[in-house]
Structure formats: structure tokens, C-alpha cells
């Protein structure tokens, strides 16, 4: 089972989007054709902030899929899995994206920690999908491996281990602001991870300035177009609060088409009545009805 995130965006700081007006946030997303939003928090313990919970309900009301998301650190991976599962169960979220970065990699058992977290999550929230958010690359362009990143992503995604359902690499292209730079960055990241997993890859694109990179409308559109060519079931963008403040970026996101619409089920055709076997007298009567001159 895969989650059709489709056209998606991250929201971390709710207050930074339209001063925290959740109705306005949801309306803006709906007007721009967004199909889902990943609601992110730096610490799972703070995920249930009132404005974030209110945003979950506002998104539902506007037909936008709310997805959970949080940074995880690996200090107690089973506890992190339990907490994320409780959030999804309470708020009926269909999926949760775990963001594992430097602190996660620093643990001596980063790969087995990923398995512990994900198994606990899936046991406590059956049917809820798990996504793994990770670095853009697991190796350098020259082929030098950056451990434990390869081991972590394999452990998280592999069947019989973490069994994560989809993967979200942070493809924040840099250097370069043009379309070619964004596409080249996506191609390299996608190819590296496709060698590790055949699970759905949902890229996270750059909709912010920082970390040595700059977002441009040209690059945003080219990145999205290339992701579709690669067969991605969606693209999500970091992040709404940044994009709203950058000239041309929010408009560029709005101009991106939604991903394939879910087909509405067609009604089952009415079963045809079985043919009625006529008696000889009935057959003769029908013939006379059609051709009265035969009387």
C-alpha cells in the first residue's frame, strides 16, 4: 500500500503562516491545489500543540490529507515509535514521516534503532503508513560511502526489518539556482536511493533560502516536472512558512498541477434480466402482434 501524498508541503511553524489562522491556511492550500500537508515538529513531545491539532481538522474540512511528521533522535527509539503511533491513532492520521538527521546518525546503533522505532510504530498504529525522511545522498559523487547513512536507510526500508512504506529524501539543491541544478540534484539523489530501495520515493524540494542554497520559481517547476517523469507519487516542499515570504515561490508552487486525481468509482451496471422462455402460444401471439396481416 502506498500513500498518494501528491502535491504536498511541509508546515512546521503554524504561527508563521497567516498568523496561525488555520482556516486561512487550509483555504490557501486548497485554492492552490495541494493534496496533503506534512505537519512537522522538532520534538514529538510538543507535537500536540493546540494550533497544530486545529490545523488537522481544518485540513480535513478542506479535503487536504494531514500527515504527521517529527524529528527523531534515537535516544529511545521505541518510545519515539509509541508517541508517534499515539498521535496518529488519536487524530486519525493516515501516515507519519520520521525525520532522522545528525543526532540519529551519531548513535552507535543507528540502523537497528530505525528498526526498533518503526516496528514499535507499526505495532501500535496498524494500518498507518510510515515514511522515512533522510539526507539527499548516502555517498559522495566520487562513490565514497558516508556511513551509517546507507545502513540506516536500508534498515528502515527493507522488508523484514523497518518495513517503512515510503522514503522522503531532502533534495534541497545547492549550489546553483537554475533549473538544471535542481534537476541534476534530484537525479543524483533519486538514483542513489533507487539502488537501495524499490519503495516509493517522495522527494522534498527546496522552497526556502538557506544552507547554501536559494529557491527560484524556475528551479521549483523544473524539479517538480522531473520528479513526475521519474514516477514519484508526489513531491513535498520545505516549507509553507518560508514559501509565503519568498517572492515568486508561493506562486510557483500554486502553479504546479495536482497529481493524478483519484478516479471516482463508477456504479455497477444493472444486471441484465435473464431471457424469458416463451411458450409456443406466446410466441405465436408475439408474432401476430408484430405482423397483424398474418391473422
All structural domains of the chain with their residue ranges: 6-255
| Structure confidence at residue 149 (pLDDT) | 78
Quick one: CATH architecture of 6-255? Answer: Alpha-Beta Barrel (3.20)
- Averaged over 139-165, what is the pLDDT? 88
- Where is pLDDT greater, at 274 or 152? 152
Q: Is the pLDDT confidence value at 56 over 70?
A: yes
**Please, what is the average pLDDT of the chain?**
90
| Structure confidence at residue 159 (pLDDT) | 94
pTM to 2 decimal places: 0.87
pLDDT over 70 for what percent of the chain?
86
SS (H, E, C) the chain: CCCCCEEEEEECCHHHCHHHCHHHHHHHHHHCCCCEEEEEECCHHHCCCHHHHHHHHHHHHCCCEEEEEEEECCCCHHHHHHHHHHHHHHHCCCEEEEEECHHHHHCCCHHHHHHHHHHHHHHHCCCCEEEEEECCCCECCCCCECCCHHHHHHHHHCCCCCCCCEEEEECCCCCCCCHHHHHHHHHHHHHHHHCCCCCCECCEEECCCECCECCCHHHHHHHHHHHHHCCCCEEEEECHHHHCCCCCHHHHHHHCCCCCCCCCCCCCCCCCCCCCCCCHHHHHHHHHHHCHHHC
Amino acid at each position: 500500500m502506498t500513500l498518494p501524498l501528491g502535491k504536498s508541503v511541509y508546515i512546521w511553524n503554524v504561527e508563521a503562516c497567516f498568523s496561525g489562522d488555520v482556516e486561512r491556511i487550509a483555504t490557501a492550500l486548497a485554492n492552490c491545489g495541494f493534496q496533503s500537508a506534512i505537519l512537522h515538529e522538532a520534538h514529538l513531545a510538543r507535537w500536540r500543540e493546540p494550533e497544530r491539532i486545529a490545523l488537522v481538522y481544518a485540513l480535513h474540512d478542506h479535503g487536504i490529507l494531514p500527515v504527521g511528521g517529527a524529528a527523531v533522535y534515537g535516544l529511545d527509539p521505541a518510545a519515539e515509535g509509541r508517541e508517534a503511533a499515539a498521535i496518529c491513532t488519536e487524530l486519525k492520521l493516515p501516515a507519519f514521516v520520521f525525520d532522522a538527521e545528525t543526532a540519529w546518525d551519531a548513535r552507535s546503533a543507528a540502523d537497528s534503532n530505525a528498526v526498533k522505532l518503526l516496528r514499535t510504530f507499526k505495532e501500535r498504529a496498524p494500518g498507518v503508513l510510515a515514511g522515512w525522511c533522510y539526507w539527499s545522498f548516502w555517498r559522495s559523487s566520487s562513490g565514497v560511502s558516508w556511513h551509517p547513512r546507507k545502513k540506516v536507510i536500508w534498515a528502515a526500508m527493507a522488508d523484514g526489518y523497518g518495513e517503512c512504506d515510503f522514503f522522503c529524501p531532502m533534495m534541497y539543491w545547492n549550489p546553483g539556482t537554475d533549473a538544471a541544478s535542481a534537476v541534476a540534484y534530484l537525479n543524483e539523489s533519486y538514483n542513489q536511493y533507487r539502488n537501495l530501495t524499490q519503495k516509493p520515493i517522495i522527494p522534498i524540494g527546496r522552497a526556502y533560502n538557506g544552507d547554501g542554497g536559494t529557491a527560484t520559481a524556475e528551479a521549483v517547476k523544473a524539479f517538480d516536472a522531473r520528479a513526475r517523469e521519474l514516477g514519484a507519487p508526489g513531491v513535498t516542499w520545505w516549507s509553507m512558512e518560508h514559501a509565503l515570504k519568498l517572492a515568486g515561490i508561493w506562486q510557483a508552487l500554486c502553479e504546479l498541477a495536482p497529481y493524478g486525481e483519484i478516479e471516482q468509482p463508477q456504479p455497477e451496471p444493472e444486471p441484465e434480466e435473464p431471457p424469458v422462455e416463451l411458450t409456443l402460444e406466446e410466441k405465436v401471439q408475439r408474432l401476430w402482434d408484430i405482423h397483424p396481416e398474418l391473422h
